[in-house]
Every structure is written in structure tokens, then in C-alpha cells.
Chains A and B, each alone.
Chain A
Amino acid sequence: MLYFSNLHRKHVVTGDGIEVGRLDDLVLLISSTQPKITKLLVDLNYGKKIFIPINHLIKINNEIIIEKNFVNVDILANEIFVLRNILDKQIIDLSGEKIVRVNDVAIQVKDNNNFYLTGVDIGFLGILRRLGLENFALKIFYFFGIKIKPHFLPWSDIQPLELTRGQVIINKKEEKLAKIRPEDLADYLEKTNIENAKKILDMLDEKKAIEVVSDLNLSYQSNLLRRLKLEEAVKFIKYIEPDEAVDILLTLREKRRQQIINLLPPEKKKEIVHLLNLSSSPIGELATTEFLTVKPETTVNDVIKLIKKEAVDFAFLTTIYVVDESNKLVGVFNLHELLLQEPLTPVYKFMIQNLIVTHLNTAKEIVLKKMLKYNIQIIPIVDDNNHILGVVTIDDLSEFILKKIL
């Protein structure tokens, strides 16, 4: 997860190291699902400011690196700023009570360099981060054995239209406020997005609706499918990638699954039935329980200690999973990412929240396809509640495939 305060005033350079300016603000497209960051407002060093589309961004490390041939574009009517419209603004609940101010803004990076605004930090740590004292404070708290975590309001609680009027109003009463921990932020957003997605589906044309649905996580897609009318469900299965569709269908009840399949166009139907038949060889057989889970606030130091203690007999360890208090899978990181961090950094700060998972009864072929598509060596198997049951490595899978070919 990224914070706006970590990006603000960062140097912006081109791929070949030529300084462009400093990041002044981020522009986002207002939407009630996941607002996407669309542009960077860069303060050129001679005082002029330009908007650079986010697709010119190459990567963010100590500096923000953009493509050499970047362009300057205009801001659209339904776009707003992070710094100017959200940061430091007063948050008011439905009944007009003041709650707190926006201390920081959380940004999530998803596949293919897409940046989404996931929520606003309303905690004390947010203020410390703005003051540049976060790491120092964490060290002190660690010394005294206190674990301090940021508090967030998920984006889905904010009324996006009010932002354009210079107000941050949340669509709940203060008492009902869900103050979210960082590791659950993405999860919560996805969950409430089902409701939002449903609303949008009613209003939008097909193309846009499909786009919204493909934005959702696999398990939430299936959740959505369960609640939609049959005709609508069929419509989505039609457009979603066949192997993903099978995954979703397998989570539905037998009867509903058949109903949907029967209504599909013949060609699509054939493809899906074929894939469904494969699932007589479910992935569950190959699963191992040789994996490590840690809590989000565990520090890098403690993770390394845990590996030394628990993973002595493991045949294979590349990835560590993060689970929240209710044991739900919320994040993942690999050993490379772990070693790059400072010893006292809590894992929620660098874990990847956008998880690729599979289910017990998914077909092995489909799992293999998925792993190749996302280029991962190990995949977790989860149940309907997102509890991790086991993992499958690409080695185990390829052995199985090889046997089948020979």
C-alpha cells in the first residue's frame, strides 16, 4: 500500500534520469466503486504545473519514474485532486457531526500499474506520517511493546459527489462507522462494491457493467453472481474469461449452475462444460500445508525469526501469507520483498493485497493456466470464507501434467 504523503513532493524523473519536477498532486476519476488515479500533477521546477497521464508512469521507488515522451493533458470535469479536495478536509457523518480530518490517503497498486484510491487514513499514525515521524514513532512504540496501527475509512463509505463540493461526507452515522485496519481495506472495498456494482449494473450499459465486474476479485464475483437475476448472471458468465467463469460456477449450487449453463450460447456452453468436466481432478489432491502465515502488524524482524523457527523442515518456501484476526487471507509477500524492508517495518506496509487464489475443487489445468498467466510459483487454496487451506506449487502441478501427457 502507498500513502499520498509518501509520494507528495517526490522527484519526478524520466527513465533516463532527467529531472522533470516534483509530484504536487494526484488526479482521480470520481466513482463510487474504486476511484482510479488518472493523472499526476507535476510541479515543474520553474513554477509551472502540468498534468501527466498515469499510463506514462513506469515505476515508483525513491523517485517517480515516467516515460521520456510524456505529454501534458487537461483535467476532466469529473476528476478531482487528492491534495486539494481530500487531504486535510473535515469528515462529517450523515447527521452532520464532525468526526475527524483526513490525515492521509491510502493508494493501492493493482495489476498493470493501475493505482486506486482505497481509503482515507484517519488515525494518529497518519499525522505522524505527515510529519515524517512515522518510523521513529513505530520504533519507540515497538521498544515499549505497543503495537500501533493506522485506522482507515474505506472509500466505499465516502459520498464521492460531495467531494466536488469541498466536503468529505460519509454515508453512515458515526456510531456505525467501520474503522478499517489497513490489511482489510482492499477486502472491505471489494465487499461493499458488490452492492455498488449491483447498483451500477442497473444503471449502466452492458460494456461498462462488465468492466466493473471484472474489476472485482474472484470470490466477490461469485458472490455477486449468487445475488443477480438468472438472465443477468448468464450475461456475465458470457463475458468473463472461461476459466474464471468455471471457477465462479463451481462455487454456486449445482442447480443454479446448471440453469446458467443451459442458458449460455452453444459455443460458450461447450467450452465451459469441457472445463467443468476437468474438475473431476480437483487441485485439492496436490495441496500441501507447508506454508507460513503471519499477522499484518508483525515486523520484518519477527517474520525472519519465525521462518528460522517454523520453516526448518519445509521443502519449499518462497512466499509468506498474511491473515487478519479472523484468520482471513489478506495479503502476501515473497522473501525478496521481505529482505528489502527495514527490520521494524510491519508487514502490512509492503504486502500485496491483490491476491491470486484458487479453490479446492478447481481443476488442475485451470490452476496451472492461472499460475502461468500471473507468473506465480505458488498459489493458495482458500475456502468460501477466504481462509487458507493449503498451497500448491508449480512443481507439483507440472509433475501431474507431465504424467498425463506421457
Chain B
Amino acid sequence: MRNFLSRLKTRLIIFLVVLGPGVITAVADNDAGGVATYTVAASMYGMASQFLIIPETLILAVTQEIGARIAVVTKKGLGDLIRERYGVKLSLLIFILYFITNQGVVLQNVSGLKASFEIFGVNWQFFLIITCIFLILFVIFFNYKRLQRIFLLMIIFYFSYLFSAFLAKPNWGEAIKESLIWPSKINIFDLSFWFSRIAVLGTTITAWGQFFVHSYIIDKKLDVNHLKYERLEVYLGAFITNLFSWMMAVAVTYTLFVHGIKVDDGFKAALAIKPFAGELAFVFFAFGLFGASLLGLTIVPLATAYVFSEIFGYQGSLDSSFTKGKLFYIFFILQILIGLLIALFPQTSLFKLTLYVDFLNGAMLPIIFYFLIKFSEDPKIMGKHTSSGLTKILVRGAAIIISVMVIISFIGKIFHLV
């Protein structure tokens, strides 16, 4: 028994050492854009907006695991592998698409931050600029370990969604039945419901998330011996992030949906919650939005900077100094500055922009899955860690489902079916 306990202890310690990349990436998938999509969907369809969340979690877990596995085994980023195997032309094209997509996501997060400042009723221009400056300084001067601790701490912000869910006094039984078993409150054959459902999936599984988990694991310098634990960590991340989004949906459903109030962004959702769940729930919700935007605003530009360094072969690590990793940090700063500048202009239509971002993200996902499958099944790259039978089928299935869904989703958006 004691033996068992001490073994458990060592395992737990190793797990804590490994903890980081999987959880951070997965949780950051619920960034400002994610929060907006979940709340809008929940205000329209209630807990049914989370229907099929279990298979969704599985898809996220499988796709992130494959990236994590390639990263741990090869110690090479997705960008590295694409450049080395497919040359300059293709990798440059992918980088340009990727940069634009991520720029859009960054902008969504800057707007999320702006919205949360507006909710708190402070001078948003001032706080937005200050936040961005601090964020840049933190990333430049802190090393990997310290930054990771900050990222993990930022996840605490998401717990505020748990509180606001409880404060909404939900009917838990019904919530579980609607989302995990079968939705009865809405017409399941309603086409626009499905478009909305796919949009939720699209914000959970992202192009940058696939690249980031890869690069971030490499920067952590994990060993092949840690593979087992890293896999567990990725699964944990997929579970946590979807638990958060489920709770978000609960908070919105039992305040807005049951009263028939439809909102079209996260900002309005927070304001609308106030009369039903009280001041506290409102504050929690706003905090959640703030944390989600902040995490997204840090992780997504980092994801861009990592891939740039990988493709062009520059030193790109949170552990390197500014002079060593100049280009890495410049790309990080560049994306934040562009986002900031656009957000400071009051006339930008964020709705249109979100549409294009989602399209680009959707267009990139099938390409990324192609590479992931290709690399993970190549024994020259993976050695004995190539994907085995079940994973092969699961990943292919996931790739096909997501690809089809993003295409359908975009067609829906074009013809204003949502």
C-alpha cells in the first residue's frame, strides 16, 4: 500500500512537471471569440448549444494529442517539419495565411478586452494600451517557467464562469439531459441550430491551437519519456476547457435563454445577465471575459511568433533574451500592436471580420490535419511512435468531420442562414 502511494506520488510529481502546454492551449481555445460564440449560441438554443459536447471533447483531445506526440518525439515544430519537407514556397504561403488568421483572432481578443473594460466602466482606451504594454514586457522579460505559471494562474479567471453558472440557479438535471443526451427544448431539425452548433466547434478546434501546442511543448523541452504524461495532460486540457464552456452555456441558458432574451455578443450577454442572476454573477461573467481575452491575446501572437521562427529557422523561445530572439519577439509585438491600433479606431466592423477569420481558420484546418496525419504516420519522423490503428481512424474521422463542418458553416454564413 505504501509502495503504491509513493509510486502515485512520483507519478503526480512528473505529471505536475509536464503540466502546462496541453491545458493552456485547450483553455486558451476558449478565448474572447469563443466566449462570444458560446454565449450567443446559448442565448438562442439554451443547453442544446452544447449538444454532442462529449464527442467534441474527444475530437479535441485526439487532435491535440497527435500534435503533442509529434512535438515530444521529433522536438520539431509543425512549422519546422513543413519547411523541411515541403520547401519555402508552401511554408511561406501557410505562414501568410496563418498570420492573417491569427491577426483576426488577436483583434477579437483585443475587442474582448475592450468590452470587459467597458463593462467595468473604466476608460477603456487607457487600460487597453497599458494592458498591452505590460503584456509585451512580461513576455519579453519572463522566461518560459514564469510565464507558464502566469498562464496557469490566468485559468483561474475561467472559474468565474463556474460561479456565475451556480448563481444562475440552473436546473442541473435538465442541463445535462439537454446537452449530453438529447435536446428537447428546440427543434433538432432546425438547420440554423446546426450552423450555430458548428460555430461552437469551430472556436474550440483552431488552426493556431494545433500549431501552438506543438511549439509550446518543444519550448518546454520535454523528453520522450514524458510522452505518457503529456498525453494525459492534453486529455485533461480538453476536458477542462469544455467543462468551462459548458458552464458558460449554463450561466447564459438559465438567465437569458429561459427568459427568451437573445444577445449577439459577450458584452451584451454580461449586461443582460445582471437583472436575473444579480450583480455578483455579472461581475464574475465580466471577469471571465477579461481573463479569456487576456489569455487569448498572449497565446495567439505567441503562436504566430513560434511558427515564424520555426519556418525561417530563427531562435524562437520564451527562454531566449530579446536580442537573441529578436524576430520571434518582434512578430509577437507586431500582432498585438496591429490589433491594438485597429481596436482604437471606433469604426471597425468586428462582425464582418469575425466572419473572415472563421473562414480562414476553417480553410487552414484541413491542411493542418493533412500534415498532422502525414507526419504522425511516417516512421522516418516518428520512429516507433507512429499513430496506431485506433488513433489513425479517430484522427482521420476527426479531420473529416471538422473539415466538412467548417465548410458547411461557412456556406451557412455566406447565405446568412445563421
Complex contact A97–B315 (CB within 8 A): yes
* B309 adjacent to chain A (CB < 8 Å): yes
Identity of the chain B residue whose Cβ is nearest the Cβ of A100 in the assembled complex? B313
Inter-subunit contact B83/A101 (CB<8 Å): yes
Q: Does A127 interact with chain B (Cβ within 8 Å)? A: yes
Which of A97, A98, A99, A131 meets B89, CB within 8 Å? A131
- Report if B94 contacts A (CB, 8 A): no
The answer to whether B313 and A99 touch across the interface, beta carbons within 8 angstroms, is yes
Q: Is A387 in contact with chain B by the CB < 8 A criterion? A: no
Interface size on A, residues (CB 8 A): 14
Q: How far is the CB of A153 from chain B (nearest CB, A)?
A: 12
- Chain A residues within an 8 Å CB radius of B404: none
- Tell me whether A131 and B92 are in contact (CB under 8 A): yes
Indicate if the CB atoms of A88 and B92 lie closer than 8 Å: no
Please name the residue on chain B nearest to A103 by beta carbon.
B88
CB within 8 Å of A: which B281-308 residues: none
Q: Is residue B371 contacting chain A, with contact meaning CB distance below 8 A? A: no
Contact (Cβ within 8 A) A98 B315: yes
Give the top 3 A-B pairs by smallest Cβ distance, nearest first.
Answer: A101-B313, A130-B88, A98-B315
In angstroms, Cα B314 to Cα A61, docked, is: 35
| CA distance in complex: A144, B23 (Å) | 49
Beyond A88-B87, A90-B84, A98-B313, list 9 extra A-B contacts (CB 8 Å): A88-B83, A97-B315, A99-B313, A99-B315, A100-B313, A100-B314, A127-B312, A130-B89, A131-B88
Binary contact track A228-271/B, C-beta < 8 Å → 1, others 0: 00000000000000000000000000000000000000000000
Most interface-central of B87, B88, B324 (chain A CB within 10 A): B88
B230 at the interface (CB under 8 A from A): no
Determine whether the beta carbon of B87 is less than 8 Å from that of A130: yes
Cα–Cα, bound, A89→B313 (Å): 8
List of B residues within 8 angstroms of A97 by Cβ: 315, 320, 324
Residues of A within 8 A of B324 (CB): 97
Residue-wise, chain A 59-93 has the 8 Å CB interface mask toward B (1 for contact) of 00000000000000000000000000001111100
In the complex formed, the residue of A with least CB distance to B80 is: A90
A98-B314 in contact (CB<8A): yes
Residues in A with CB closer than 8 Å to B313 are 90-91, 98-101
Mask of B253-287 contacts with A, CB within 8 angstroms, 1/0? 00000000000000000000000000000000000
B316 at interface by CB-CB < 8 Å:
yes
| Residue in chain B with minimal CB distance to A129 | B88
Q: Is the CB of B312 within 8 A of A88?
A: no
Distance of B101 from chain A, by nearest CB (Å): 21
Contacts of A103 in B (CB 8 A): 88
Q: Digitize A265-290: 1 where CB-to-B-CB distance is under 8 Å, 0 elsewhere.
A: 00000000000000000000000000
- Complex interface: chain B residues within 8 A of A98 (CB): 309, 313-316
CB neighbours (8 Å) of A87 from chain B are 87
Set B88, B309, B316, B320: member contacting A88, Cβ < 8 A: B88
Assuming the A-B contacts A97-B315, A98-B314, A101-B313, are A127 and B84 also in contact, with contact meaning beta carbons closer than 8 angstroms in the complex? no
Q: Which residue of B lies closest to A91 (CB)?
A: B313
Check A88–B314 contact: CB distance below 8 A. no
Tell me, in angstroms, the Cα distance from A91 to B313 when the chains sit together.
7
Q: Which residues of A contact B84 (CB under 8 A)?
A: 88-90
Most chain B beta carbons < 10 A, residue from A88, A90, A130: A88
Closest CB in chain A relative to B234 CB, distance in Å? 26
Complex CA–CA separation, A119 to B311 (angstroms):
21
Q: In angstroms, how far is the closest chain B Cβ from the Cβ of A43? A: 15
Bitwise interface map of A from 14 to 46 toward B, beta carbon under 8 Å scored 1, else 0: 000000000000000000000000000000000
1/0 contact trace for B78-96 toward A, CB 8 Å? 0010011001110010000
Complex Cα gap A98–B314 (Å): 6
The answer for the CA separation of A101 and B80 in the assembled complex, in Å, is: 10
A214 to B87, CA, bound (A): 37
Residues of B within 8 A of A101 (CB): 83, 311-313
Q: A87 to B91, alpha carbons, bound, how many Å?
A: 14
Q: Which of A357-400 contact B (CB under 8 A)?
A: none
A275→B219 CA distance, assembly (Å): 66
Quote the shortest CB–CB distance from B11 to chain A (angstroms).
31
Chain A: CB-nearest residue to B91: A88
User: Which residue of chain B has the shortest Cβ distance to A166 in the bound complex?
Assistant: B84
B378 CB to nearest A CB, Å: 14
Residue of A nearest to B93 (CB): A131
A103 CA / B92 CA spacing, docked (Å)? 12
**Cβ B88 vs Cβ A127 within 8 A:** yes
Please list 7 pairs of residues, one from A and one from B, whose beta carbons are closer than 8 Å in the complex, sorted by A's number. Answer: A88-B84, A90-B313, A97-B315, A98-B316, A100-B312, A103-B88, A130-B89
B316 contacts across to A, CB distance below 8 A: 98
A88 to B309, CA, bound (A): 13
Q: In chain B, what residue has the closest Cβ to A98?
A: B315
Q: In the complex, what residues of A have CB within 8 A of residue B89's CB?
A: 130-131
Q: Encode contact with B along A112-128: 1 for CB under 8 Å, 0 otherwise.
A: 00000000000000010
In whole angstroms, how far apart are the Cα atoms of A130 and B313 in the complex? 16
Q: How near does chain B come to A354, taking the closest CB pair, in angstroms?
A: 30
Contact residues in A for B311 (Cβ distance below 8 Å) = 101
- Closest chain B CB from A169 CB (angstroms): 13
Hey, which chain A residues are within 8 Å of B312, CB to CB? Answer: 100-101, 127
A163 to chain B, nearest CB (A): 14
Residues facing A in B343-379 (CB within 8 A) are none
Contact of A127 among B80, B92, B309 (CB under 8 A): B92
Question: How far does the alpha carbon of A98 sit from the alpha carbon of B306 in the complex, in Å?
Answer: 13
In the complex, what residues of A have CB within 8 A of residue B88's CB? 88, 103, 127, 130-131
The CA-CA distance from A127 to B89 in the complex, in Å, is: 9
Chain A nearest CB from B4 CB (Å) reads: 40
A91 CA / B314 CA spacing, docked (Å): 9
What residues of B have a CB within 8 angstroms of the CB of A88 in the complex? 83-84, 87-88
Chain B positions within 8 Å of A127 at CB level: 88, 92, 312
Name the CB-closest residue of A to B324: A97
A101–B320 Cα distance when bound, in Å, is: 18
Q: Which B-chain residue is minimally distant from A127 (CB atoms)?
A: B88
A149-186 vs B, CB cutoff 8 Å, 1 = contact: the mask equals 00000000000000000000000000000000000000
Complex Cα–Cα for A127 and B93 (A) = 12
Q: Which residues of A123-151 have CB atoms within 8 Å of chain B's CB atoms?
A: 127, 130-131
Q: Using Cβ atoms and an 8 Å threshold, which residues of chain A touch B80?
A: 90
A101 to B314, CA, bound (A): 8
Q: How far is the CA of A87 from the CA of B80 in the complex (A)?
A: 13
A100 and B89 alpha carbons, distance in the complex (Å): 17
A132 CB, min distance to chain B CBs, angstroms: 9
**A391: min CB distance to chain B, Å:** 42
C-alpha spacing A99/B89, complex, angstroms: 20
A403 to B243, CA, bound (A): 101
In chain B, what residue has the closest Cβ to A90?
B313
CA distance A103 to B87 in the complex (A): 9
* Cα distance A127–B92 in the bound complex, in angstroms: 9
